A and B are shown apart, each in its own frame.
Chain A
Amino acid sequence: MKLNRRNIITVDEAEKLIEKYYEGETTVAEENQLRTFLAQSNVPPQFEAEKAIFGYYESKKARKHFRLQPYLRWAAAAVIAAGVIIPVSIFQASGKTSYAYINGVRITNTQEIISLAQTTINYVSDNNEVEDGLDNLKNDETIKTQLDAFSEIEL
């Protein structure tokens, strides 16, 4: 079939192709030509039915094209999840959660926070009971020492 320079078929050619189409004898290339013809804005009214048929297939094709496959949907969900979790993790790891409150006033100065923590630790470790606690952790020497106190008692 002869085509014009713009690859748009004439009305006569379109009618012949449509006949061929209904008989199921058109090739893929011919159907594409027909589709291009029917997609024009100034298609004669007698082609309305065919335009609807091809329009339907076009829209279905378009929908199919943009439809995400199930695995792609899960992949998209995973990407979104990563997009949420990773920044949260980075935020938490960035040290921005370090702070102090003195009499209800928030402190974010690093040196001041460290200094306060050090002071607090000193409150606990200043009494020598910490060392005693360590000794208790190590072994049962405390019990042994206490039992030794009774070893000299005569029964």
Chain B
Amino acid sequence: MNSKCKYLILVVMFIAGCGLEIKAQSDLDINRIFDKYGKQKGSVMVEMSKEMLEGYDFSFYKSIVISNNEEAGDFTRGCLQTDQNGAKKVKQVVTNGKISSVYLQLPKKGKYNRLILFNEKSVPELKMTLIYIESEKDSEEIMKLILKKK
């Protein structure tokens, strides 16, 4: 086997190995939130792939709910600040000078539309929710799908 062949196989195996982790959200700063807080006490993180999302017509879903962690909220706002570059800000609510709610429509990745939903409530307890969604449907339809499931 010559060196070209070995090189090709190595490259293929590397790409395939990385493929396990590579997802469309991997280029986003919010990934750090899932990594940092996903497995912590007080957090509920959910990741769902296409098969479990048929009812929603989503391709990928990832969310995290963090309770009573002010630092997590601030950290998330910082990440969203980065990710909103190039994104369409569908909606933003600022409460007491802090972003309490924001919906970002990210640039399309391949055939998938991507949406980030962030919401933070302080009553009855401090609770931060972050959702990342990929879907072939457009943002408006994604929102409708979310409302439909209420």
Contacts and interface: CB of A to CB of B under 8 A. Distances in A.
On whether the two chains bind one another, the answer is: yes
Interface of A: 73-74, 76-77, 80-81, 84-85, 88-89, 91-104, 110, 113-114, 116-127, 129-134, 136-138
Interface of B: 1-2, 5, 8-9, 12-13, 15-16, 19-20, 38-52, 61, 63, 65, 90-91, 93, 101, 103, 117, 119, 121, 127, 129, 131, 139-140, 143-144, 146-147, 149-150
A59 B20 CA distance: 45
Contact of A133 (B38, B65, B91, B149): B91
B47 A97 contact: yes
Nearest to B119: A124
B41 A103 contact: yes
Contacts of B19: 85, 88-89, 92
B9 A81 contact: yes
Given A92-B19, A103-B42, A103-B43, A133 B51 contact: no
Classify the secondary structure of A's interface with B.
helix
Nearest to B128: A123
A120 B20 CA distance: 25
Nearest to A115: B46
| The 4 A-B residue pairs with the shortest CB-CB distance in the complex, in nearest-first order | A133-B91, A95-B51, A81-B12, A123-B129
Given A95-B50, A103-B42, A124 B5 contact: no
Contacts of A81: 8-9, 12, 16
Most chain B beta carbons < 10 A, residue from A94, A97, A103, A114: A97
Given A81-B8, A120-B63, A131-B147, 14 more contacts: A74-B5, A77-B5, A77-B12, A93-B50, A97-B47, A97-B49, A99-B47, A104-B39, A104-B40, A120-B46, A123-B121, A124-B119, A129-B93, A133-B91
Given A93-B50, A120-B65, A88 B146 contact: no
Contact of A76 (B5, B50, B146): B5
Nearest to A85: B16
Contacts of A77: 5, 8-9, 12
Given A84-B12, A129-B101, A93 B51 contact: yes
A137 B139 contact: yes
Given A81-B9, A124-B129, A137-B140, A117 B63 contact: yes
